[in-house]
Structures are given as C-alpha cells and as structure tokens.
C-alpha cells in the first residue's frame, strides 16, 4: 500500500482500497484505513475555496453516452517558465476524458479540427457546453457548428459552475497530475498527459461510477444505455437529497 500511495500521492484511502482490491488484497476498508493512518499516508489538504450559501439543484442531462460533451482549458508552464494550455473534452455522463490537447497556442480553427476528429472517431454529441472564451466564439467555430449541425451551448459569463463536469475534471487533473509533475518541453508534456488520460479512463476509480473506471463500466455492461440511466438516476437522487437537506436546515 505504501508503494501505491507513493505512486498516487493525491489518492485517499478509499481509492487506494479499490485499487488494492483489484490486485487481490483481501483486507477490508477499515483495516486499510488503519494502516493508511499508521503509515502517515494522509494526503495534504488543499486550501478550500468559498462555497456558495443556499441550496443547489442537480444538473439534469440525458443519461446516455455522447448526450453532452463539455470542454474547457487549463493552463500550466514548462520548467523554463513558458506557459502552455490544455484543451480538455469530457463526456458528462460516462466521465470519460475524450481529449486532452496540449499546445502553446490553441486557436478556434484548431478547436474545430479537433472536434471534427473526435466526432468522426465516436459519434455526434447531443450538445456541447463551454464558456464564452474567444476560441469558442470565433468565426471558425461558428462556421463549423453549421456543417455537422451540432448544438453548442455557452454558459453564462462568470458562472463556471454551469460547466461543472469539466471544471471538476480540471480540478482532478490539477491536483493529481499537473501540480505533481515538472514538464521539460511540449513533447514531454504531451507524452505525460496522454499517459495520465489513459490511466484516468482505464484505471482510476470514479466515485460517480460506483468506484469503477469509465472503460471498465463499458466492459461490464452490455447495455451501456441502461447503465447510464442507472448512473444518471443515482446522480439526480443524490442532488435531490442535498437540496432537501439544505431546505430542512433553513
């Protein structure tokens, strides 16, 4: 467990327990937690952001793969101090990272080309959600949306919580990968990002998917739509419970 915790320094005992179980460890979660504390493996907590006061309603989407994709940018820098950007694309239902494109500059034309490649590889999403950045409001994107007839929804200005799925992914990427890695150059960054995305999709346990990976979900279920409906149901029920608790507290 110590080796696994050193390899994944930002994982808590619950995710470590899931990974150990995959490797055949018979110990229960209480024993794992005790050893986790005794070995001093508790991860350092990041400074919490301010939370909004009041109740929150769950984000309701059609519970199937490719129903809605979200995209956003995250920034980092090389060892020399030069900055680069990563365009992240996430399936909001399956939580799969569809793309993580790193470059020093990503224009609207580049975004359109990458979207065309993703749609050709998978299928057309029901809707695409993003903020109002210049890359998404450029003429290249506006022209591209007409040809495949893709609905593009822009969130309200200053409301990143309306694009919460990809914002959550960006937070995980920042906490578990970017803050823990030093990039030498663009080629090095692209290689490491591709390896991390593969691990994120195939090995990392997701609390929103009963502690399973996105690829494992697809292998376990022959009826992907039925499984997505189940995931969506529990997500909505969880949101409704939080709203009720907030109302009762008031």
pLDDT, one tens digit per residue, over 179-199 is 989 999 999 999 999 999 999
Comparison of pLDDT for 225 and 139, the residue scoring more: 139
Among 15-24, 146-155, 176-185, the minimum mean pLDDT is found in: 146-155
pLDDT in tens, 207-245: 766 666 566 544 444 344 444 444 444 444 454 455 445
Between 46 and 74, the higher pLDDT residue: 74
Burial class (CB in 10 A: 0-12, 13-18, 19+), 168: middle
Is 0.85 topped by the overall pTM?
no
Residues 80, 110 contacting (CB under 8 angstroms): no
Given a contact cutoff of 8 angstroms between Cβ atoms, the answer to whether 98 and 89 are in contact is: yes
Distance CA 132, CA 73 (A): 12
pLDDT band at 145 (very low <50, low <70, confident <90, very high): confident
| Between 159 and 100, the higher pLDDT residue | 100
Mean pLDDT across 30-38: 84
d(CA 146, CA 142) in angstroms, rounded, equals 7
Phi and psi of 48, rounded to 5°? -75, 145
Q: What is the mean pLDDT of the chain?
A: 77
pLDDT greater than 50 at residue 167: yes
**246 or 64, which is more confident?**
64
Comparing 126-135, 168-177, 190-199, the range with the smallest average pLDDT is 126-135
Percent of the chain clearing pLDDT 70 (strictly above): 74
Helix axes 13-22, 29-38, angle to 10 degrees: 120
């Amino acid at each position: 467990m110590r080796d696994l915790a050193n390899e994944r320094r930002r994982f808590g005992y619950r995710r470590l327990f899931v990974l150990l179980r995959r490797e055949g460890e018979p110990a229960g979660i209480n024993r794992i937690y005790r050893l986790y504390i005794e070995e001093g493996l508790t991860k350092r907590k990041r400074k919490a952001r301010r939370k909004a006061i009041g109740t929150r309603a769950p984000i309701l989407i059609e519970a199937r793969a490719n129903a809605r994709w979200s995209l956003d940018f995250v920034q980092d820098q090389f060892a020399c101090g030069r900055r680069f950007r990563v365009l992240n694309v996430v399936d909001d239902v399956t939580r799969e990272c569809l793309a993580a494109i790193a470059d020093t500059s990503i224009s609207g034309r580049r975004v359109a080309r990458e979207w065309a490649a993703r749609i050709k590889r998978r299928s057309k999403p029901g809707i695409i959600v993003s903020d109002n950045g210049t890359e998404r409001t450029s003429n290249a994107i506006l022209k591209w949306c007409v040809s495949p007839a893709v609905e593009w929804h822009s969130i309200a200005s200053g409301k990143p919580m309306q694009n919460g799925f990809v914002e959550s992914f960006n937070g995980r990427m920042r906490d578990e990968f970017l803050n823990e890695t030093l990039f030498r150059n663009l080629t090095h960054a692209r290689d490491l990002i591709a390896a991390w995305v593969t691990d994120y999709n195939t090995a990392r346990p997701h609390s929103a998917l009963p502690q399973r990976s996105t690829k494992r979900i697809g292998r376990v279920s022959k009826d992907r739509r039925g499984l997505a409906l189940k995931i969506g149901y529990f997500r909505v029920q969880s949101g409704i419970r939080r709203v009720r608790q907030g109302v009762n507290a008031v």
